[in-house]
Amino acid sequence: MKTAISMDDGLLQEADETAHRLGLSRSRLFALAVGDFLQRHRREQMLRQLNEVYAGGMEPAKRLY
């Protein structure tokens, strides 16, 4: 899907240079970057939720094996 975004000229130039150096298209670089960001965000959400559970006094789950 095509989309349009706005960003600082310097950031775009650095992204273009990095994509070129890595042999990627600009679109592929942005897709990888957004994917990495979303994965990191999901992990941080999960960690916050686990911290909330353990802060409530629950004991950590024990391994079944």
What tens digit of pLDDT does each residue of 38-62 get? 999 999 999 888 888 878 766 666 6
Report the alpha-carbon distance of residue 23 to residue 25 in Å, rounded: 7
pLDDT of residue 59: 66
What tens digit of pLDDT does each residue of 1-38 get? 999 999 999 999 999 999 999 999 999 999 999 999 99
Instruction: Tell how many helices (H) and how many strands (E) occur in the chain.
Output: 2, 0
Nearest to 15 by CA among 26, 1, 4: 26
Judged against a pLDDT cut of 90, whether residue 65 lies above it is answered with no
Cβ-defined contacts of 53-62 (< 8 Å, 24+):
none
pLDDT of residue 28: 97
Report the alpha-carbon distance of residue 58 to residue 49 in Å, rounded: 13
Nearest to 17 by CA among 26, 9, 6: 26
